[in-house]
Amino acid sequence: MMKGNLLIRAFSLTFAAWIFSNAAQADEKTDAAVAAAKEWLAVVDSKEYKKSWHEAAPFFKEHVKEKQWEEQISTVRGPLGKAISRELIGTQFTTVLPGAPQGEYVVIQFKTNFADKPNSVETITPMMADGSWRVSGYFIK
Structural domains of the chain in order of their starting residue, each with its CATH number:
2-140 (3.10.450.100)
Position 115 confidence tier, pLDDT thresholds 50, 70, 90 = very high
Section 20-24 average pLDDT: 45
Count of CB atoms within 10 A of residue 49's CB? 18
Terminal C-alpha separation, the chain: 58
Q: With pLDDT > 70 as the criterion, what percentage of the chain qualifies?
A: 82
112: which residues sit within 8 A by CB, 6+ positions away? 83, 85, 86, 87, 120, 121, 122, 140
- Which of 89, 96, 127, 91 minimizes the C-alpha distance to 110? 89
- Beta-strand (E) ranges in the chain? 83-94, 105-114, 117-129, 132-140
Position 91 confidence tier, pLDDT thresholds 50, 70, 90 = very high
Does residue 14 have a pLDDT over 90? no
CA separation for the pair 33, 108 (Å, rounded): 9
Q: What is the pLDDT of residue 8?
A: 43
Does residue 68 have a pLDDT over 90? yes
Q: How many CA atoms lie within 13 A of 42 on its CB side?
A: 6
Section 43-59 average pLDDT: 97
Q: What is the pLDDT of residue 31?
A: 96
CA separation for the pair 23, 17 (Å, rounded): 10
